Chains A and B, each alone.
Chain A
Amino acid sequence: MLDFFMGHYAYWFTMILLSVGLYGMLLKKNLVKKTIGLTIFQGGVILFFVSVAMKEGATVPVKADGLPVSEVANYMNALPHTLMLTAIVVGVATLGVAYALLIMIYNRYGTLNEEELIDKIQ
């Protein structure tokens, strides 16, 4: 049982991050806190990709003299990391759009609390 937890601790960590993010988005009343939850959620996905590319004792994927390319265990898989560069950029863009929307909401209603907002809308 302990092996099951210890052997997969990176995945447990990812799942905890995803849950924290979902909790923030679902239960927090403040829209900024919802946005923070969203960022944590995306962070969980990004860390998952980064952690699956991790290898014990491997180095960066740049060809070195002492390390033959044929032994793939010497090199880390660079692809998930490069994918996550793009995903981070997407996350930043999402955050930018979210904050722009929050500014519009605040200018129109004067509040970012969801309950007050729904009261004012109706």
Chain B
Amino acid sequence: MIGSEIPALIPVTYILFAVLIPLIGLWKREIVWQLSLLGTGIATFLSAWGFLHLIQTGETIRYYFGGWTPPVGIEFVYDGLAAFIVLVINTIAFLVLIYSKEISKVEFPGKKMPYYTITMLMMLGFNGMVLTGDLFNLYVFLEISSLSSYALIAIGEKRAPYASFRYLIIGTVGGSLYLLGVGFLYTVTGTLNIIDMHAMLPQVIGHSSVIAALVLMVVGVGVKAALFPLHGWLPDSYTFASSSSSALIAPIGTKVAAYILLRIVLFLFGIELIDAHLPVTTIIGIFAGIGILYGSIMAIAQSELKKMLAYSSVSQIGYIIMGISLANPFGFIGAVLHILNHALMKALLFLVSGSLRLKEGHSLITKFDNSYRRKYPWTMAAFTTAAISMVGLPPLAGFFSKWYLALGTIENSNWMLLAVILISSLLNAVYFFRILEKVYLNDPESESSDETNAVERDEVGFSMMFPMAVMAIGLLVVGIFNAYIVNVIFTMFPVGF
């Protein structure tokens, strides 16, 4: 039965194509894009199949590598949550790779073969991080994905290598701190398997090593997730990377790190133990709240679209981490739903900024004008959909994750965080509506002038329009069918795990 092999098959597909693309690329350079699309397509298909299979049977698949049963061997745990996140990241990667066909000709001609090879390696790392049930294995996948994203970010503008180098230094420190935390936990429990360690932690929870390990792991993963005081690497990296790289890394990279934080807080330690000796959830909740406001305010201050989106990422990651810090079912639903929503929204917004850079040669907000709505009607429509969803107006997807986060804060009587959610929605409205205003609203005089009417429609090609349209419709579909999705997510909450 192939169903039980799916957790292993998804990373294997990526590693296979990471080898195939350079080999075939040497012989036929022009088909590397098709190959990468095939690889991601197979992985997306497998993860969709696995997800449906899992919903129907409701059984967690635990894949043992080499037949060694854990805790001795390494296992992949394919439960509802992992299946959901894998489906989200593979679908986003598939859509962004369709888009990258045209933009790669302009932004990095002649570097397509290494680009797609590194993309496959990065997706291998992200999928492995989500699936693995072993803490050290997680570190290895974390480093695979990080090293690939350093390389992907360096393919970009002139300043990209320096931004990437800063990310490398900060990111490697984060990875090393995580590894040190794993070492501390290993010395007191003698195991690396997450499920096994969860069973042992109640006996050693008061040990100072465990408390130190928890702090080190949260800080280490927090660096990767760009949790507020550790976000310094993010804005420059996302701004100076090429458009398709930032559209790939921004929706996937920080989300997967936030998912790892969720695993550590709610699955490895569990709701009962996480706050036993240190108010971890309160602390990360405060930092998430500050991050949400800081990211939104910095986004308002930016005059460049990609940099604004990067700061907006800092703020949106705050929502996910806030949902984790609430440690109740509503907060969990909000966090997981926001991983999906924000992945769709941020990918779409970065794709729009890439299209504008391709057509206009820049994405400076100050130079936006009302001719855009005639030149790029569909691109701007997609942008508007994402922007409204970011602000959180129903029936678009963004509203529902904020709704569940707000319910979670009310359940914990955490009025500060509720206020943060409401204020940040207003701030989101400020930085998105000033763009919408420039594009859609203007004085009637210039509307009637011949000059504006003379602007020809200059829409991007089908291969770039298609992923944007799918994501925009996806936002609407996720919003309308959110009740069904929330029911599925609710079953993933670790009750009695």
Number of interface residues of B (CB under 8 A): 25
Across-interface contacts of B169 in A (CB, < 8 A): 25, 34-35, 38, 98
With A52-B187, A80-B186, A94-B168 already in contact, the answer to whether A104 and B143 are too (CB < 8 A) is: no
Complex alpha-carbon distance, A25 and B176, angstroms: 14
* Distance (whole angstroms) from the CB of A44 to the closest CB of chain B: 8
Specify which chain B residues have a CB less than 8 angstroms from the CB of A20 in the assembled complex: none
Q: B161: nearest residue on chain A (CB-CB)? A: A104
| Contact indicator per residue, chain B 103-134, by CB within 8 Å of chain A (1) or not (0) | 00000000000000000000000000000000
- A41–B176 contact, CB under 8 A? yes
The smallest C-beta distance from A105 to any residue of chain B, in angstroms, reads 5
Is A70 close to B, CB under 8 A? no
The docked-state distance in angstroms from the alpha carbon of A121 to that of B70 is: 51
Q: Which B residues from 160 to 214 make CB contacts under 8 A with A?
A: 161-162, 164-165, 168-169, 172-173, 175-176, 179-180, 183, 186-187
Given A38-B169, A98-B168, the answer on whether A117 and B162 have CB atoms closer than 8 Å is: yes
Instruction: Output the nearest chain A residue to B173 by Cβ-Cβ distance.
Output: A41
A93: nearest chain-B partner, CB-CB: B147
Partner of A48, one of B164, B165, B183: B183
* A70-90 near B? 1/0 per residue, CB < 8 Å: 000000000010010011001
Q: Contact: A80 with B183, CB < 8 Å? A: yes
Q: Is the C-beta of B365 less than 8 angstroms from some C-beta in chain A?
A: no
Q: Could you tell me which residues of chain A, from 17 to 67, have a CB within 8 Å of some CB in chain B?
A: 18, 22, 25, 31, 34-35, 38, 41-42, 45, 48-49, 52
- Is A108 a contact of B165 with CB atoms below 8 Å? no
Is the CB–CB distance between B147 and A97 below 8 Å? yes
CB-based contact A105/B147 at 8 Å = no
Interfacial chain A residues near B183, Cβ < 8 Å: 45, 48-49, 52, 80
A20 to B395, CA, bound (A): 53
Residue pair B179, A94 in contact (C-beta under 8 Å): no
Q: Which residue of A lies closest to B159 (CB)?
A: A121
Q: A38-B173, A45-B176, A80-B186 are in contact. Are A121 and B162 (CB under 8 A)?
A: yes
**How far does the Cβ of A17 sit from chain B's closest Cβ, in whole Å?**
11
Query: In the complex the two chains form, what is the Cα distance from A62 to B179 in whole Å?
Result: 27
Other-chain residue from B150, B176, B186 in contact with A101 (beta carbon distance below 8 A): B150
**B315-343 CB contact bits vs A (8 Å, 1 = yes)?**
00000000000000000000000000000
Which A residues touch B172, using CB under 8 A?
38, 41-42, 94
Complex interface: chain B residues within 8 A of A38 (CB): 169, 172-173
**Chain B residue at minimal CB-CB distance from A77:** B190
Is the contact region of chain B dominated by helix, strand, or loop, or is it mixed?
Answer: helix
A101 touches B140 (CB 8 A): no
**Count, chain A residues at interface, CB 8 A:** 31
Q: How far is the CA of A18 from the CA of B162 in the complex (A)?
A: 24
Do the beta carbons of B164 and A101 come within 8 Å of each other? yes
- Residues on the B chain within 8 Å of A22, using CB: 173
| CA–CA, A83 and B191, complex, Å | 12
Please, which residues of chain B bring their CB within 8 A of the CB of A35?
Answer: 169
- Cβ-defined contact, A48 with B180, below 8 A: yes
Output the least CB separation between B131 and chain A (Å). 18
Residue of A nearest to B167 (CB): A101
Candidates B162, B164, B179, B186; contact of A87 at CB < 8 Å: B179
Decide: A108 and B179 in contact? CB cutoff 8 A. no
Q: Which of A83, A101, A104 contacts B136 (CB 8 A)?
A: A83
Contact A97 B150 (CB under 8 A): yes
**Also in contact, A97 and B168, with CB within 8 A (given A48-B183, A90-B143):** yes
Chain A residues lying within 8 Å of B179, measured Cβ to Cβ, are 45, 87
* Cα of A97 to Cα of B165 in the assembled complex, Å: 9
A108–B158 touching, CB < 8 Å: yes
Contact status B140-A90, CB under 8 Å: yes
Determine how close the nearest CB of chain B comes to the CB of A87; give it in whole angstroms.
6
Contact of A108 among B151, B161, B168, B187 (CB under 8 A): B161
> What is the CA–CA distance of A18 and B180 in the complex, to the nearest angstrom?
11
B378 to chain A, nearest CB (A): 36
Residue B417 interfacial (CB < 8 Å): no
B154 interface hit (Cβ, 8 Å): yes
Distance, CA A83 to CA B169, complexed state (A):
22
Docked Cα-Cα span, A25 to B166, in Å, equals: 10
A-B complex: 10 closest residue pairs judged by Cβ atoms:
A104-B161, A90-B143, A101-B165, A105-B161, A45-B176, A101-B161, A52-B187, A45-B180, A49-B183, A97-B150
Sample (6) of A-B pairs whose CB atoms are under 8 Å apart: A80-B186, A87-B179, A90-B139, A94-B147, A94-B172, A108-B161
Task: Enumerate chain B interface residues (CB-CB to A < 8 A).
Answer: 136, 139-140, 143, 147, 150-151, 154, 158-159, 161-162, 164-165, 168-169, 172-173, 175-176, 179-180, 183, 186-187
Given A41-B176, A97-B168, A101-B165: 11 more A-B contacts, CB < 8 Å: A35-B169, A38-B169, A38-B173, A45-B183, A49-B183, A90-B140, A93-B143, A94-B147, A94-B168, A97-B147, A100-B154
